[in-house]
Amino acid sequence: MSNRYDSRTTIFSPEGRLYQVEYAMEAISHAGTALGILAKDGIVLAAEKKVSSKLLEQETSAEKMYVLSKNIICVVAGIDSDASTLVETARKMALQHFATYDEEIPVEVLVKRICNVMQGYTQFGGLRPYGVSFIFAGWDSSQGFQLYQSNPSGNYTGWLATSVGANTTSAQTLLKQEYKPDSTLEEACDQAMLIMSKTMDSSALTSTKLEFATIKASSDGAEYNVYKPKDIEPLIEKVKSTTQ
């Protein structure tokens, strides 16, 4: 029965569901795990990279972490090419806002605008919804640090800590256990690494399989840092030493 509502454009099924959107979410649930934790002085994002080959260049191929503007970064889970086009749109939106108002785009404003684009693909444009979920981390002067997660339906919600991708249920459980409302960014980084180590499919945690980024307070608002593999190593060592 269900396969009658899952071809062509996104339309309602008799139960009022949008199968195309649900399938897109299904696609995301196979992607590498990604998570975000909101600390009081910053936000950490971490993601599992599915390395296909040893020959893949590590230094130059960041796959999942994107800088959208001076004050906003994100991590994606899902179809990478879909993500790329949305990231490009997002960057344009952020710059357009800066050009018009001479102020960085507030985090929720950008999140909402990207999600509006995604919503459009579930109602009128194109043949299928976008197959990506984003976790956005950002800072603005009115709301401070903020963590959002979006999904293909165009919904978004604000989180203290969240995850998407393959092992999201176990990651979510661990986040619930580990999350402390007043932790510092440093503590949050350790938590993130610990949870990644417990949820990733591969047994050994290596910097080739991880992406890591933070955004933290700076003198003129916020500054982001997308980690290079060599910067990730010390964090891995730290987790290994504490868990042993």
Q: Does the protein bind another protein through residue 106 (CB under 8 A)?
A: yes
Q: Does the protein bind another protein through residue 175 (CB under 8 A)?
A: yes
Is residue 121 a contact partner of residue 82, using CB atoms and an 8 Å limit? no
The alpha carbon of residue 137 and the mean position of all alpha carbons in its chain are separated, in whole angstroms, by 8
How far is 240 from 219, CA to CA, in rounded Å? 33
Nearest residue to 222 (alpha-carbon basis) of 107, 65, 72, 68: 72
Q: Does the protein bind another protein through residue 95 (CB under 8 A)?
A: no
What Rg value do the Cα atoms of the chain yield, rounded?
Answer: 18
> Of the listed pieces 24-32, 168-176, 183-191, 193-201, which binds another protein according to CB under 8 A?
168-176
> Of the listed pieces 69-77, 98-106, 213-221, 228-236, which binds another protein according to CB under 8 A?
98-106
How far is 144 from 206, CA to CA, in rounded Å? 32
Phi, psi of 155 (to 5 degrees): -80, 150
Q: Does the protein bind another protein through residue 4 (CB under 8 A)?
A: yes
Nearer to another protein, 67 or 175 (CB): 175
Residues with Cβ within 8 Å of residue 157, at least 6 apart in sequence: 148, 149
**Site residue total, another protein (CB under 8 A):** 50
How far is 158 from 162, CA to CA, in rounded Å? 9
Q: Does the protein bind another protein through residue 78 (CB under 8 A)?
A: no
> Of the listed pieces 46-54, 113-121, 182-190, 215-223, which binds another protein according to CB under 8 A?
113-121
Q: Does the protein bind another protein through residue 157 (CB under 8 A)?
A: yes
Q: Does the protein bind another protein through residue 156 (CB under 8 A)?
A: yes
Q: Does the protein bind another protein through residue 109 (CB under 8 A)?
A: yes
120-149: which residues touch another protein (CB under 8 A)?
Answer: 120, 122-124, 142-143, 146-148
Nearer to another protein, 33 or 207 (CB): 33
Q: Does the protein bind another protein through residue 38 (CB under 8 A)?
A: yes
Q: Which residue has the tokens 């987790």?
A: 239
C-beta of 156: minimal distance to another protein in Å?
A: 7
Is residue 20 a contact partner of residue 10, using CB atoms and an 8 Å limit? yes
Is residue 62 a contact partner of residue 226, using CB atoms and an 8 Å limit? yes
How far is 177 from 110, CA to CA, in rounded Å? 30
Q: How many Cβ atoms are within 10 Å of 172's Cβ, its own excluded?
A: 17
Site string for another protein, 180-219 (x = CB under 8 A): ----------------------------------------
- Binding residues (CB under 8 A) for another protein: these are 4-5, 8-18, 38, 99-103, 106, 108-109, 112, 115-116, 118-120, 122-124, 142-143, 146-148, 153-162, 172, 175-176, 179
